[in-house]
Each structure stands twice: as C-alpha cells, then as structure tokens.
Amino acid sequence: MRTRFRRLPLLALTPLLAALALAAWVFASPIGAGPDDDFHLVSAWCAGPTAAENCALNDAGDAVSAPKALVESPCFAFEPTRSAACQTDDWTASAAPLVETDRANIGGSYPPVYYTATGAFTGSNLQFSALLMRGFSALLLLGVAVSLFLLLPAHRRPTVVWAFLLTAVPLGLFLVGTNNPSVWAWIGVAAAPIALVGFYETEGRRKLGLGVVFLLSVPMAAGARSDAAIYICIAVGAIAVMEFRHQRRFYLDSLLPLAASALALVLFAGAYFARGGASGFTGESFDDPERGSAVDREEPGAQPLEGFGLLASNLLNVSRLWTGVFGDRWGLGWLDTSMPALVPAAAVAALVLVGGIGFARPSLRRALMVAVVVSTLVVLPIAVLQAGGDAVGEQLQPRYLLPLIALLVVLLTLVPADRPLLLTRVQRFLVIVALSSAQFVALHLNIRRYITGVDQSGPNLDARIEWWWWSGFPSPNAVWLLGSLAFTLLVAILVTALSRPRVSAPSTTDAPLAPVR
C-alpha cells in the first residue's frame, strides 16, 4: 500500500510530461512538413468557415482556389538539403494570393470528419491555424489516453501505455506534429479496442465513460482515413471474439460496437466509391513524377517486376513496411528525413521484448486474433500493391499500416489479470533506454532537417539556423532537449510503475473478467 501511494505523485506528472513531449514534436516541423500536407491543409481550409468565399471550385470542378502559402508550404519536399527558409514570411490569409490547385479533397476521396473538425480552426493567420490543428490532435491523443487510463480497471491500464508508447517512435510522434489525418487513424484504432474491452468488462460510470471513448475513437479513425475504417472493424471483431460469452448482457453490449462498425463502413464506402473503387486504400500518393518513386527507385534500365515475380518480391519484402513504421528505410516528412539504424533497431527491440512477454501462454482466442491481424499485415498491403502493379517501396507507405501495428500491440499486451505483463528490472531498463534514445535521436534529426537542411550537421541545433518559428520562441536546442527530457521521464515513470501490475481479480484465461464497477 505504501508503494502504491508513493507512485501516485509521479504518475500524476505523466500528463504534463506527455504534453511537453508532444508540444516539442508539434514545433519540430514547419507547416507543410507532413506527407501530403499541402493536400490536407487545403482540404481543411476548404472545409472551414470561410470556404464559401475563399475556396471556390473552378468551372471544370477539378480544382479549387486556395492560399498560395498553403499550396507551396512544402517547398522543401524531396530536397533534404533545403531548409524551410524557402517558405513565405507572410502567413496572413488576407494578404496571401489565391492560386488554383487540384491538391484537395475535391471528390471526397478521403472521409470528411478530419477536415471538418480541423477546418474549424482556420482563421486569419494560416500558420497559426495549422498549428492549432496540430495542437488539437495532440490534445486528442492526450485526452483519449488519460481517459482510458482513468476509466479502465487497473489490470487493463498497461495496455494503454504499451499501445501508444511502443508505436510512437518515431512515426507516431512525427505525425502528431503534422496536419496529416493518419495521426487520427493511429489514435482511433489504438484506443477503440481498449475502450471496447473495458466497456464489456465494467459496469456503471466506468462502462458509460468507456463507451463514450469508444464512440469517439471510431469516427476519429474511420473519419480520417478510409483504410482505418477497415481496421476498426477488424479491431471490433477481434475484441468481440475475445470477450464472447453466451449471455444476454454480452449480446446487448454488442449493439454498441455493431452500430459503430456500421458507421465505419459507411465512411469507408463513401470514400471508396468517391475514388471509383480503383485506388486501393492508400489515398493520395506524393511521389514526385520527376523523381520517380519516393523509396527504392529503380536503377536505370531495370525491368519492372510483374506477375509471379512481383508477388514473390512483395511477399519477401512486405516486412519492410512494418519496420518502416519505426524509421527503417522510409524517412519522416516527405520520406526525405532519414533515420539512422539506431532508431528502428531500438524501437523494434522494445516492441519485440514487451510483445513477446505479453504473448507468452496466450489463450486460443487471443492467439487466433493475433494471427488474424498478422495475416492482415501481410495480405492487405500485398493485395493493394499487386492491384496497382507496384512493388514494396512504391506508393504504399508504412504510415498506412501504423494503426494495424498499434492494434497488434493491443492484442499482444491484453493479458489476463492473473498473468500480468511482468518485466524484470533489467528489461525495464532496456525498454526505457531503447525508446528514449530512439526518440532523442529522431527529434534531433527531424529539427535539423528543417532548420538548416541535412547538409549541416553537429549536435548544436542553435548554430547556423536558416529557419525557425518566431523571434523570441524557444530555440531549437531548447525544444529538442526539453522534449527529449520530458519523453524520457514519461517512459521511465510509466514503464516502472505499470510493468508490474498488481493482481486485482483472478482469472485463468483471457476470457472476460467479472464486471468492475
């Protein structure tokens, strides 16, 4: 009991530490740094309150008028030695000339929820509006995670921690600091199954609160990307199988996830048919036609793969898409901010260590659901690539699979109360060092790429700055060091406090526990 109360003050600091770490990533990249951010910024602008006056369709209906500053914000894309100093100095909406662009959600190829929500933040200053959108996503992540932690029974709380920590570095954190809807897909697909487990296993106010979090998470994910709607349905099905019991209460409770799945499918269908059902789940591609594919470009004279050769190549290389979530081969930004081998190696090692311990002696139901998700991680990207005649490294990007990786972590760490996910002192130390060092390096390199370009190097980010936010704003070094310190303390507190959960209710399988009030 004394140990429990000694931990409470440190745990109470974690929301503040998480907010500081997320804020560092929000300011680690300029406007337009996220993949396809020009598309998403214009789409949000055209869903905002001033869209009728400032985002008119052209006569052909295939382009819109949008502020030039937004359209040209990724002036540094695909040129890693070019800093963000190429951007305009005037982000005032009234002063920004309007230009015609087809880089917008004109035909509804993306679901409308993300753009409608973020469009509400459009205002007179384009840069400040984009930062507000990023801040809103960061607050959503923090609010959802804290709500789940407070509402769930104690033995389920570690899953919340692992689901987000093990998939955050570096891609998850980077997406929080962009205007890309993939961040909502990640948050929603990770949170929905955890909330649904709690909804099935609790009663009273806990059940009501977790039901609300679940209902928020579903349209958050499915309303951001159409592929996330499919992931939501997989997540709901997996949890329903694991929690199934032949009781009236289970069937009544299942009406909520059934309705949520129907909503997700409606959002998916709307975007799918808007694309003509022909472009798979990948959405817009930002490959530059003058540069070829963004990753693994073919050598001159190489013959493109097709038929069985293409299938075999994709099958043998599909795991690169999984490790790309952790910075392997695929860079951040417009795939032009490369990560050193330390980052993916450390992040993957932490996931394998924790996931392996969590998956020891699984029930048949949980093993089957993990097999379903792993199979989806193989079959879905290969099917999409084959449909487009593409090889791994073309078109399909790791960020599309980030939500599925998060779902896999949820299932790996969703252990019964009598077999908590136990880490030894050495294992806790290794996880803390792996995640904090990977984040430390990734944040530094991400800031470096935009303030000077990668042609400059050195640990001092305050030297030879070509671009930064505003005069008087905390320096790049301050953002890097404060954000890294906050993240390290956050990981250390959470991993130490929650990797050895106390048994509060006996259970011999992964079957549902007695309801918790």
* Residues 179-227 pLDDT 10s: 999 999 999 999 999 999 999 999 999 999 999 999 999 999 999 999 9
What pLDDT digit, counting tens, does each position of 420-434 carry? 898 999 999 999 999
The confidence score (pLDDT) of residue 275 equals 60
Residue 103 burial by Cβ neighbours in a 10 Å radius (0-12, 13-18, 19+): buried
Is the per-residue pLDDT at 145 higher than 60?
yes
Is the per-residue pLDDT at 273 higher than 60?
no
Q: What is the rounded CA–CA span in Å between residue 141 and residue 176?
A: 9
Sorting pLDDT into bands at 50, 70 and 90, what band is 51? confident
pTM for the model: 0.92
What residue segments make up the domains of the chain, in order of their start?
Answer: 2-62+65-87+106-291+304-498
Sorting pLDDT into bands at 50, 70 and 90, what band is 509? very low
What pLDDT digit, counting tens, does each position of 483-497 carry? 999 999 999 999 999
Sorting pLDDT into bands at 50, 70 and 90, what band is 280? very low
Consecutive H or E run containing 166: helix 157-167
Q: What average pLDDT does range 138-147 have in this prediction?
A: 98
Q: What average pLDDT does range 108-115 have in this prediction?
A: 92
Is the per-residue pLDDT at 299 higher than 80?
no
Sorting pLDDT into bands at 50, 70 and 90, what band is 500? low
Q: What is the rounded CA–CA span in Å between residue 200 and residue 210?
A: 9
Q: What is the rounded CA–CA span in Å between residue 392 and residue 33?
A: 23
Average pLDDT, the chain: 89
Q: What average pLDDT does range 304-310 have in this prediction?
A: 81
If one counts every other C-beta atom within 10 angstroms of the C-beta of residue 341, the result is 9
3-state secondary structure 163-205: HHHHHHHHHHHHHHCCCCCHHHHHHHHHHHHHHHHHHHHECHH
Instruction: Report CA-CA distances (Å) from 273 to 108, 110, 311.
Output: 9, 10, 27
If one counts every other C-beta atom within 10 angstroms of the C-beta of residue 453, the result is 18
The confidence score (pLDDT) of residue 3 equals 52
Is the per-residue pLDDT at 291 higher than 80?
no
Nearest by Cα to 30 from 446, 430, 364, 376 = 446
Instruction: Report CA-CA distances (Å) from 445 to 277, 320, 325, 330.
Output: 38, 21, 16, 14
Sorting pLDDT into bands at 50, 70 and 90, what band is 102? very high
Sorting pLDDT into bands at 50, 70 and 90, what band is 288? very low
- Upstream peptide bond of 170 is cis (omega within 30 degrees of 0): yes
Helical packing angle, 342-358 and 157-167, nearest 10°: 160
Phi, psi of 67 (to 5 degrees): -60, 135
